[in-house]
């Protein structure tokens, strides 16, 4: 994560988009946060951490427009206050942790857009969502970092909350091999039953990432480990 942070700041993005599996879940729709501010606290860490960052509402609304134009089901979501331009959206941990390393502690913090996928939509919808996000970025005047935040298989250990299933190791192995080979497109060909049995959180964000990057980028696998019941991987992407 520290290496990803170094690459992030070297690229000097104007805004950052975080794709998260753990924010608002809307049936058969992607969710794009339209609140003006994002704030979160992680109490479970040895030293509790907290962040508060501005949202890039203009880019968020642009993404919603492009998703609508591409006929990808999507809704804008906010929290608390009745006026999204004044509202504060809680961060989930899959947003807070990457922002802790990439943009959230900058001075000033890098404006952020949060997008949550919809697991009950077909894979092709997520690929098209990535293409729509790319179109929104290209239509803006921004240099944007795109983060697919996720853990991988969640069934690596019998004493974990999801129990043990060999699909977790197999799913992770296939993802690692594809990224090591620079084949993000191959992630889209993974079997949906394997994804479900592995209890993976990552597949949908990787589909969106592939839709946005297309074939003009190459993957750099930085790390993979299974420190607990779920697999964790870090990869960076650069223009090929």
Distance from the Cα of residue 97 to its chain's centroid:
11
Distance between start and end Cα atoms, the chain: 22
Digits of tens for pLDDT over the chain (240 positions)? 999 999 999 999 999 999 999 999 999 999 999 999 999 999 887 888 999 999 999 999 999 999 999 999 999 999 998 999 999 999 999 999 999 999 999 999 999 999 999 999 999 999 999 999 999 999 999 999 999 998 999 999 999 999 999 999 999 999 999 999 988 999 999 999 999 999 999 999 999 999 999 988 989 999 999 999 999 999 999 988
The Cα–Cα gap between 133 and 145 comes to 12
For the chain, give every domain's residue range. Answer: 1-149, 151-240
**For residues 150 and 202, is the Cβ–Cβ distance under 8 A?**
yes
Order across the sheet with 74-77: list the strands: 74-77, 30-33, 112-116, 15-19, 144-148
Question: Which tokens in the block code for residue 9?
Answer: 């700041």
Count of CB atoms within 10 A of residue 26's CB?
15
Outline where the chain has alpha helix (H). 2-11, 57-69, 93-101, 123-139, 166-180, 192-198, 203-213
For 222, the 3-state DSSP assignment is strand
What architecture (CATH level 2) is domain 1-149?
3-Layer(aba) Sandwich (3.40)
């Amino acid at each position: 994560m520290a290496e990803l942070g170094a690459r992030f700041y070297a690229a000097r993005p104007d805004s950052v988009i975080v794709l998260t599996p753990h924010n608002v879940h809307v049936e058969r729709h992607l969710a794009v946060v339209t609140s003006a501010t994002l704030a979160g606290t992680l109490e479970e860490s040895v030293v509790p951490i907290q962040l508060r960052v501005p949202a890039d509402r203009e880019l968020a609304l642009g993404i919603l427009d492009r998703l609508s134009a591409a006929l990808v089901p999507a809704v804008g979501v906010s929290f608390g206050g009745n006026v999204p331009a004044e509202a504060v959206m809680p961060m989930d941990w899959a947003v807070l942790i990457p922002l802790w390393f990439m943009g959230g502690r900058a001075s000033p913090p890098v404006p952020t857009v949060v997008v949550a996928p919809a697991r009950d939509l077909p894979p092709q919808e997520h690929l098209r969502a990535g293409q729509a996000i790319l179109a929104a970025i290209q239509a803006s005047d921004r240099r944007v970092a795109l983060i697919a935040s996720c853990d991988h298989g969640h069934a690596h250990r019998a004493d974990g909350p999801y129990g043990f299933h060999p699909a977790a190791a197999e799913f992770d192995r296939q993802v690692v091999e594809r990224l090591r080979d620079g084949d993000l497109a191959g992630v889209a060909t993974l079997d949906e039953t394997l994804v479900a049995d592995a209890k993976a959180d990552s597949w949908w964000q990787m589909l969106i990432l592939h839709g946005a990057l297309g074939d003009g980028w190459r993957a750099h696998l930085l790390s993979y480990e299974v420190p607990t019941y779920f697999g964790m991987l870090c990869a960076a992407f650069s223009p090929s």
